[in-house]
Structure 1
Amino acid sequence: MAKTDYSQYTQLSPFELKDNLIALAQSHADRTMLNAGRGNPNFMATVPRRALFQLGLFAAEESEMSFSFLSEGVGGFPLQDGLTERFQGFLRRHAQSPGVAFLARALSYVRDQLGLDADTFVREMVEGVLGCNYPVPDRMLLTSEAIVKEYVLREMGASTLDRDGLDLFAVEGGTAAMAYIFNSLRENGLIAPGDKIAIGSPTFTPYLEIPHLNDYELVEVLIEADPDLGWQYPEAELRKLEDPAVRAFFVVNPSNPPSVKINDAGLRTIADIVAKRPDLILLTDDVYGTFADDFRSLFAICPANTILVYSFSKYFGATGWRLGVIATTRDSAVDRQIAALPADTRAALDKRYASLTTEPAKMKFIDRLVADSRAVALNHTAGLSTPQQVQMVLFALFNMMDAGGSYKSALKSIIRRRDAALYRQLGEQHRDDENSVDYYTLIDLQQTCRALHGDAFAAWVLKTQNPIELLFRIADETGVVLLPGKGFGVLHPSARASLANLNEYQYAAIGSALRKLVDEYFAQFKASAGKS
């Protein structure tokens, strides 16, 4: 049989390579495939989902009241008079249902703790879950924005920021947010082909690929995290941001795949750089921030310069819902840069947005994001679907009302036990790190081989084995699917394993399978040493 040429796979994105590895892992009928390549969690928040479904039942009944003379299943808009009282009656009648009990507590929390109008909240939730109106405002429903804003600021370590000085744009998950932001930065003359953009590396593979597309043609400046420093960014790397040619710094925090939050020293360095470079745009994807202890986003330390992206997908097990938000401040450095663009560029932008406002020059960047997301001309139908916004609100309330943090503690415990099980069976001591989130783990080939069988063996493996071929052999011989660290910008041979999508015993099985493979290589190493 001809030997497979694995070099053909070296240029594939890890997420495309994954399909080839899955096919190989599934090719053996006598075993179960263990796919640790996906970041999709196998846990989820059930109570806010129950609440959504119960809210939907109430809303459907309310709709049917408007056209009750018809028998064809036709409903109308819910009647506003007495809506909150009827909702409270519904809550009392079905108080034993976990979802309904949560809705009752949520109504009290919104009114008594957040100080929002109960009638307005109920009306927005009922109409929203029915999806019977266009999203108005298109950027985000008003009460929904107020609630989600409170949640995001708390989780991002930015509770001291003025709520009235912030704007949110509800979007179809974090990936849509990034697509919209890059597009609007380009459309508004803030990035152009040949511009430098700094990227914190390692990082989510698509974020390394986007700048190279012919849509952007940007020059990447990698800010390399150091594995010997617990995957923190050395100060010398961060100081690359002082180069005035660097237009923006794009970072995932906590990182993917190292799963480490930027420590206080790194945050201070970035704040110092921004003080010297008030024109620097910070773009931060903080989807894993809710898994971290005492997390602080760049948005908390440099709010005016930061465009924050947060997704509900991982923490609430809601990847299929596509729920995310973009946050900016109303004194945004991005808005100041747009105002300072050359006159001809500003004139072209005024023309672009002229159909939306009589004063397009005053249009905020976040509102330009909304318009650009619908090619401007379709701005009147922009916005995230209202049922999605309602589910987002219920997720946010579920978290804020969990005063003891029991849900968060449970998730942290789940993923950290999985991490411990994998490394225990692998036979390698996994270092604890207060900045680690452990949503993913990077299995360092050299470090693992050195820890198990010494320096000489580790050097032999690096010299004689193709890391991509190792992943295919692992998939073929063990049924375990891992992704190559190289595809995420990791410099040393490594494999990324998600700790979110399998059960604890399965991670132990992965550790055992990897240990067996390493021991087989060690036997080959000893045999080759005996011949030499």
Structure 2
Amino acid sequence: MSERTSPISRFMNRRAQETKDGELSRRDFLRMAAVFGLSISMAGNMLGLSPTEAEAAVDFDWDKLAEESPFEIKNLLIELAQKDCGAGCNYINAGRGNPNFLNTTARKGLSLFMLFAAEAAEKDSKQTDVGFRRSKAGLAAELDAFLKKHADEPGAAFLKKAMDHVETGLGMDQDTAVFQLVDAIQGDFYPDPPRILPVTEAAVNQYVSKIVFQNQKHAKYKLFATEGATGAMIYLFNSLKENFVLKENDTVAIVTPIFSPYLELPVLRDYGLKTVNLHYERGKPWAEDGPELQTLAKSEVKALYLVNPTNPTSMSLDKQTVMRIAKTVQTKNPNLVVISDTVYASFVDEFHTLCSYIPDNCLGVYSYSKYFGVTGWRLGVVMISENCIVNNIIARLSKTEKKQLAERYTATSTDPATLTFMQRLEMDSRQVALAHTGGLSCPQQVAMVLFSLFELADTENVYKGKIMGILKKRWDALFTGLKQKAPDGPDLTRYYALLNVQDLAEQYHGKDFAASLPKDHHYLEFTFDLARREHVVCLPGAGFAGPEWSARVALANIGEQDCTDIAAAMRSVLKYYYDEWKKKG
């Protein structure tokens, strides 16, 4: 280095010595060196490493990296894929869960309704740019006239159909419903009530009946509008803790593989829960005397977390397993609290939910994000039955715990002991003191209503068929590229594919080679080599409590050709490993 850069040289030499002394990891040193423009080989030379050893060192401390969330690892994979891809090269990101498809009709309706609301506010105004909050009288007739005037505008026909359903399907007074929607989309008032607007609850309840319960008779649920499933998860975890329903060192069971935050949140210091994983595999119903149901039968297991249909394995739990879980809870562990995440229920033709069989035990979670392509809108709900067992658990708390809760909620209730868990959840979402200004933003709730009404109007499931058709083409392209028969069935979402890398290795190069993989490589190396060598980002399945040698491919965010290319990339990396293995004899 030149004299001008000697301070950097001295700094890096000191860091190199710290690395040799074990005070700094090779990975961190090499990343630091890259910041100052040093090549991997040059930085490796400072540590006495050959270029090959330096390249391996930048591959990180695998065991330590394995402790990180797959979504944090994703950022490293993207960095590698972009860096090694170079100019004019596009990497494939199959690590993200948001879809690249979206519903346009409801969006057009939303835009047109926003125009109506703005013009309605200006009706009695004589000042440019200034409107006033409207009363509800006559608003429905005004909207009807507006839609006739704009009949040829995009979204008008849908809005007319949606408003007709509000009257005939939801059974709401038209002026009342239109006023709530106009006031909400203007966003000129706090969400009132904060839990959910009445028109939103009516529409979403019908939507959930179709999507989650497949129009079958079910218990009555109250809804709490949230910022997607993310908000729902955090609110539930926090309220269960604050109300002493789940206490430090309590045990919770988790159906795996699963969306990784359900694995990561319970063990945070905030909650301090113990976890036990219950593995579920397609085509293998849980036996009545099997270890999974025996675990759920234990009274020390206080809660069950599941995503159904699953992420990352893209299937709904079979009816037999769902019914056996329900029976076990009813007969052996009636106070078990179930968080049932049904985000992917929109993507299957056959679905069985615990919310149908043990509604009082279930805290349901649903998000519109995936089906309508609205991950950025943050639209979700918590579903809680009117006879939720959490209310009973709170009623049986110790005097000391009840006193603490009375102090917590005294600012918002004259009789805190009578508060339901749903009311506590709503208050806790804004740390109680700000509950009066809580709730999901009103324009978001209007979007939720219109997406719900779109689906309810689609009695032939045309939109669902289109979305599932898109995913099936990608699914088939991936498995064709892998030289496998694509799994099929009404229980599959095809939103993700969790691929067993060792099975692929055996398919292409034999059992001996497949058996050698864990001996010669850390399982994370496969996804990192996909990124570095093939410019493809897939997430390690182990981060979802799946098999160590597995990779999750998110099909919703990529095209058919991408799926074909990913399959080729996986075969290429395995061929590279195979050639190296053959050289060793």
TM-score greater than 0.5 by the shorter chain: yes
Q: Which residue of 1 aligns with 2:106?
A: 48
Equivalent of residue 178 in structure 2, options 122, 139, 153: 122
Moved more, 353-362 or 254-263: 353-362
How far has the Cα of 1:343 moved from its partner? 2.2
Indicate if the aligned counterparts of 1:441 and 1:498 stay in contact, CA closer than 8 A. Answer: yes
Indicate if the aligned counterparts of 1:156 and 1:300 stay in contact, CA closer than 8 A. Answer: no
Equivalent of residue 426 in structure 2, options 370, 380, 383: 370
Which deviations, in whole Å up to 9, do the C-alpha atoms of 1:436-482 show, x marking residues without a partner?
A: 21111111011111122221221122322222112111111111001
Listed as ranges, the matches of 1:428-467 within 5 Å are: 428-467=484-523
Equivalent of residue 275 in structure 1, options 314, 327, 330: 330
Tell me how far apart the structure 1 counterparts of residues 490 and 574 of structure 2 sit (CA, whole Å): 29
Tell me how far apart the structure 1 counterparts of residues 136 and 524 of structure 2 sit (CA, whole Å): 62
1:185 lines up with 2:240 in the alignment: yes
Moved more, 448-457 or 482-491: 448-457
1:213 lines up with 2:268 in the alignment: yes
* Distance 1:256-1:433 versus aligned 2 partners, 3 A rule: same
Indicate if the aligned counterparts of 2:500 and 2:547 stay in contact, CA closer than 8 A. Answer: no
The answer for unaligned runs of 5 or more in structure 1 is none
Tell me how far apart the structure 1 counterparts of residues 195 and 380 of structure 2 sit (CA, whole Å): 12
Tell me how far apart the structure 2 counterparts of residues 57 and 232 of structure 1 sit (CA, whole Å): 52
Tell me how far apart the structure 1 counterparts of residues 488 and 106 of structure 2 sit (CA, whole Å): 33
Q: Which residue of 2 aligns with 1:63?
A: 121
Length, aligned pairs only:
524
Tell me how far apart the structure 1 counterparts of residues 216 and 316 of structure 2 sit (CA, whole Å): 20
Tell me how far apart the structure 1 counterparts of residues 557 and 284 of structure 2 sit (CA, whole Å): 23
How far has the Cα of 1:231 moved from its partner? 7.0
How far has the Cα of 1:233 moved from its partner? 4.8
Aligned-partner residue type, residue 44 of structure 1:
L
Tell me how far apart the structure 1 counterparts of residues 264 and 339 of structure 2 sit (CA, whole Å): 16
Q: Which residue of 1 aligns with 2:7?
A: none
Tell me how far apart the structure 2 counterparts of residues 196 and 408 of structure 1 sit (CA, whole Å): 38
- TM-score normalised by L of structure 1: 0.95
Tell me how far apart the structure 2 counterparts of residues 380 and 110 of structure 1 sit (CA, whole Å): 28
Equivalent of residue 224 in structure 1, options 279, 285, 288: 279
Indicate if the aligned counterparts of 1:225 and 1:234 stay in contact, CA closer than 8 A. Answer: no
Q: Which residue of 1 aligns with 2:231?
A: 176
**Structure with more contact order per residue of length (Cα contacts < 8 Å, sep ≥ 6):** 1
Tell me how far apart the structure 1 counterparts of residues 155 and 211 of structure 2 sit (CA, whole Å): 24
Listed as ranges, the matches of 1:97-112 within 5 Å are: 97-112=153-168
Q: Which residue of 2 aligns with 1:31?
A: 89
Indicate if the aligned counterparts of 1:231 and 1:258 stay in contact, CA closer than 8 A. Answer: no
Moved more, 424-433 or 103-112: 424-433
Indicate if the aligned counterparts of 2:523 and 2:548 stay in contact, CA closer than 8 A. Answer: no
Aligned-partner residue type, residue 499 of structure 1:
L
Tell me how far apart the structure 2 counterparts of residues 405 and 458 of structure 1 sit (CA, whole Å): 43
1:499 lines up with 2:499 in the alignment: no
Q: Which residue of 2 aligns with 1:315?
A: 371
SS of the residue 2:178 aligns to: helix
Tell me how far apart the structure 1 counterparts of residues 451 and 434 of structure 2 sit (CA, whole Å): 29
Moved more, 287-296 or 38-47: 287-296
Aligned-partner residue type, residue 70 of structure 1:
Q
Which deviations, in whole Å up to 9, do the C-alpha atoms of 1:222-260 show, x marking residues without a partner?
A: 11123xx44755552133100100001011111111111
1:77 lines up with 2:133 in the alignment: yes
Q: Which residue of 2 aligns with 1:195?
A: 250
Listed as ranges, the matches of 1:250-329 within 5 Å are: 250-276=305-331, 277-329=333-385
SS of the residue 1:222 aligns to: strand
SS of the residue 1:37 aligns to: coil
Tell me how far apart the structure 2 counterparts of residues 419 and 173 of structure 1 sit (CA, whole Å): 26
Q: Which has the larger radius of gyration?
A: 2
Indicate if the aligned counterparts of 2:526 and 2:573 stay in contact, CA closer than 8 A. Answer: no
1:490 lines up with 2:546 in the alignment: yes
Which deviations, in whole Å up to 9, do the C-alpha atoms of 1:85-120 show, x marking residues without a partner?
A: 111001111112231110100111121233222111
Tell me how far apart the structure 2 counterparts of residues 358 and 65 of structure 1 sit (CA, whole Å): 42
How far has the Cα of 1:311 moved from its partner? 0.5
1:350 lines up with 2:406 in the alignment: yes
Tell me how far apart the structure 2 counterparts of residues 449 and 185 of structure 1 sit (CA, whole Å): 44
Tell me how far apart the structure 1 counterparts of residues 287 and 519 of structure 2 sit (CA, whole Å): 28
How far has the Cα of 1:524 moved from its partner? 3.2
Aligned-partner residue type, residue 69 of structure 1:
K
How far has the Cα of 1:298 moved from its partner? 1.3
Tell me how far apart the structure 2 counterparts of residues 238 and 428 of structure 1 sit (CA, whole Å): 33
Tell me how far apart the structure 1 counterparts of residues 270 and 287 of structure 2 sit (CA, whole Å): 31
SS of the residue 2:67 aligns to: coil
1:243 lines up with 2:298 in the alignment: yes
Tell me how far apart the structure 2 counterparts of residues 39 and 260 of structure 1 sit (CA, whole Å): 16
Tell me how far apart the structure 1 counterparts of residues 576 and 407 of structure 2 sit (CA, whole Å): 67
Listed as ranges, the matches of 1:336-415 within 5 Å are: 336-415=392-471
Which deviations, in whole Å up to 9, do the C-alpha atoms of 1:162-195 show, x marking residues without a partner?
A: 67x4210001110111100010001101011110
Aligned-partner residue type, residue 313 of structure 1:
S
Indicate if the aligned counterparts of 1:224 and 1:233 stay in contact, CA closer than 8 A. Answer: no
Moved more, 431-440 or 312-321: 431-440
Listed as ranges, the matches of 1:507-526 within 5 Å are: 507-526=563-582
Indicate if the aligned counterparts of 1:63 and 1:76 stay in contact, CA closer than 8 A. Answer: yes
Tell me how far apart the structure 2 counterparts of residues 433 and 472 of structure 1 sit (CA, whole Å): 32
Aligned-partner residue type, residue 500 of structure 2:
D
* Distance 1:372-1:354 versus aligned 2 partners, 3 A rule: same
Over the residues paired in the alignment, what is the CA RMSD in angstroms? 1.6
